[in-house]
Amino acid sequence: MAQKTLEWEGSGRSADGRSSTAGTGAPHGGDDSAGATRPSIGLKEKIGFGMGDAGCNMSFAAVVMYLSYFYTDIYGISPAIVGVIFITMRIVDAVTDPLMGYVADRTRTRWGKYRPYLLLVPIPLAISIFLLFTTPDWGQTAKIVYAFATYFLMSLLYTAVSIPYCSLGGVVTSDHKERVSFQSYRFFFAGVAYLILTASLLPLVELLGGGDEARGFQLTMGLMSVIALGMFGFCFATTRERVVPIDETRKPLWASLKALVRNERWLIILGITFLQALQFFLRQGAAIYFATYVLMLDAGAISFFITAAIVGKMLGSLISPWFTNRFSKRRVYMTASGVMALGSVALFFVPHDWALVTTLFFAVINFIHGIGTPISWSLMADAEDYGEWKTRERNTALSFSGNLFFLKVGLAVAGGLVGLLLSLGGYQAGVEQQTESAILAISLMLTLIPAGIIAILMALIAWFGLDDRQMDDIRRDLDSRRENGEVPPEGQPV
C-alpha cells in the first residue's frame, strides 16, 4: 500500500487530506472498526496506567493548589515575586518540554523508552517537593533565590516524569479505541487522587504540624510524594510499550521538529489542547468565586459544589469508552462538546437562588467534559500515528511535549483571564456582597465565555478530520510495514 495514496472506501480522500478519485462506495460515519483486530489488554494494566496520573496529581496537583498560598502566607515572599517565579518557569518550559521529549524518544532500555522514567525520576522528584515546602530561616534575598531554585528543580523533574508518562499512552497499544479506554482510567484515577488531596491535605497539615503550619506542609507534602512513589512504581510494573517506531534512526532535534510541523494533524491538536484547557481551567478558576459570591453558599455547600464537579468529571471519563466503542470517537467528542456548550449557555440563565439546581447543572457539565477528555488525549496519539504514516518518523514524546506545553499555556492564559475579568468587573476581595458588574463577570467566566471557546474548539475537531475507519486503515498500513520486516511487529511488548 503506497504511503501517499492510502484511501478509505466512501471518503474520496487520502489520509493526508487530498482529494482522490478512488473510493466510490457508500459514505460511512466511521462507526465501525473496519475489521481491525484489537489486542486484548487486561484491566490490571489499565488501572496501572491510571495510577501513573494519580501519582502525578498526588505530587504536582498539590503544588498547583497550595504553593502560591505557601509562598505568600507561610514562607513570606511577596505575591509579585511569586508571579515572577511562576511565569519564568512557564518560559523555561518552552525549552525544557521539547528537550525532554527529544531525550525520551531516543532512550533505549530493556524496559522501553518511557517506562524507565516512571521508575527512576519520582525519587528525586519526591525529594525536590519536600525541599520546595521547606522554609529556611534566611534573609529575604536568599529566601527568594531558594524559592526560584527549588521550584525550578521540581519543575524540571516533574517534566521528566510527566512527558514520558503521557507518551506511554501513545505506545501501550496502536488500537485507537483501546487508547480511549486507557485514558478513561487515567482521568478517573486522577480524579480519585484529587479528591484525596482536597479532603485530606489541610487536615494533615494541621495534624502533622501541631500548630506549625510550615512544618505541617513540609511533612504532608513529603507524605503525598511517598504515596506517589508507590503509584508510579505500580504504573511501571503493570504497563508495557507495544508500538515500535518504523524508523529508529536518531536524528537531530531540528529535523524531528521539522517532521512534526509537517504533520498538520499535530498542529490542529495543539489548538484543540489549548482550547480544551482554556475553557476548563477558566470555568474551574471561576467556580469558587461563583459558589461564594453568586450562589452565596456557605463553606459546606461550596465544598459540595466543587466535589460534585470533580465526581462528575470522573464518571464522565469512566463512561467515555462506552460511547467510543459504539460511535466514532470524533463524533462523540464533537457531540459532547456541543452539549457542553449548550449546557454552559443554559446555566447562565438559571436563577442564582436555585443553588441545588445550579450545582447539579455544573456537575453535569463537568460530566460531559469528562466524556471528551480521554478522547482528546487519544486523538493526540492518532495524530502521531498519522505523522508516522506520512513522514515515516515517530516522535511520540516530542509530540506529547508540545501538547503538554500548550496545555500549560491554556492554564496560564485562563489564570490571567480570571484575574483580568475580575478586575474589569470591579471585584473586591473580602467583601460580603459583590457589585452587579463583578457578579456578571464571574457568571460569564463560568458559562458564556467557555461556551464561546468550545464553539471554536468544535471547529478544530471538525478540521482534524481523521475518523475511526481512517485510523484503522493507517494502523493496518503501519502493521504491514512492520510485517514486511521494516521493524519488529507490534505485540512483542518491552
Cβ neighbours, 10 Å, residue 100: 25
Question: Where do we find the cell 501517499?
Answer: 4
Q: Strand, coil or helix: what is 167? A: helix
Residue 443: which pLDDT band, with cuts at 50, 70 and 90?
Answer: very high
What's residue 198's pLDDT? 83
pLDDT one-digit tens code per residue, 416-439: 888 888 888 888 877 888 899 999
Domains detected in the chain: 42-242 (1.20.1250.20), 263-479 (1.20.1250.20)
What's residue 117's pLDDT? 96
Percent with pLDDT over 70 in the chain: 89
Residue 491: which pLDDT band, with cuts at 50, 70 and 90?
Answer: very low
- Count of alpha carbons within 13 Å of 252, Cβ hemisphere only? 2
Smallest Cα–Cα separation from 72: which of 80, 63, 64, 62?
80
pLDDT one-digit tens code per residue, 302-319: 888 988 999 999 999 999
Residue 488: which pLDDT band, with cuts at 50, 70 and 90?
Answer: very low
Residue 109 has pLDDT above 80, yes or no: yes
What's residue 485's pLDDT? 58
What's residue 246's pLDDT? 67
* Cα 241 from Cα 283, distance rounded (Å): 35
What's residue 243's pLDDT? 83
- DSSP for 329-389, written as a single string: HHHHHHHHHHHHHHHHHHHHTS-TT-HHHHHHHHHHHHHHHHHHHHHHHHHHHHHHHHHHH
Smallest Cα–Cα separation from 455: which of 294, 337, 308?
337
Smallest Cα–Cα separation from 287: which of 302, 277, 268?
302
* Cα 90 from Cα 155, distance rounded (Å): 9
Give the pLDDT mean for 389-401: 86
Residue 36 has pLDDT above 60, yes or no: no
Query: What type of residue sits at position 387?
Result: G
Residue 114 has pLDDT above 60, yes or no: yes
Host H or E run for residue 328: none
Query: What type of residue sits at position 368?
Result: I
End-to-end CA distance of the chain: give it in Å, rounded.
28
- Give the least confident one: 311-320, 360-369, 480-489: 480-489
Given a contact cutoff of 8 angstroms between Cβ atoms, the answer to whether 217 and 74 are in contact is yes
What's residue 450's pLDDT? 96
Smallest Cα–Cα separation from 144: which of 210, 78, 45?
78
Smallest Cα–Cα separation from 382: which of 329, 336, 457?
329
What value does the mean pLDDT of the chain take?
85
Percent with pLDDT over 90 in the chain: 52
| Top-ranked range on mean pLDDT: pick from 167-171, 424-428, 485-489 | 167-171
What's residue 153's pLDDT? 95
What's residue 6's pLDDT? 46
Given a contact cutoff of 8 angstroms between Cβ atoms, the answer to whether 458 and 279 are in contact is no
Burial class (CB in 10 A: 0-12, 13-18, 19+), 95: exposed
- The secondary structure of residue 293, as a DSSP letter, is I
Smallest Cα–Cα separation from 384: which of 111, 168, 113, 185?
168
What's residue 493's pLDDT? 44
Residue 76: which pLDDT band, with cuts at 50, 70 and 90?
Answer: confident
* Cα 56 from Cα 157, distance rounded (Å): 11
- The secondary structure of residue 210, as a DSSP letter, is T
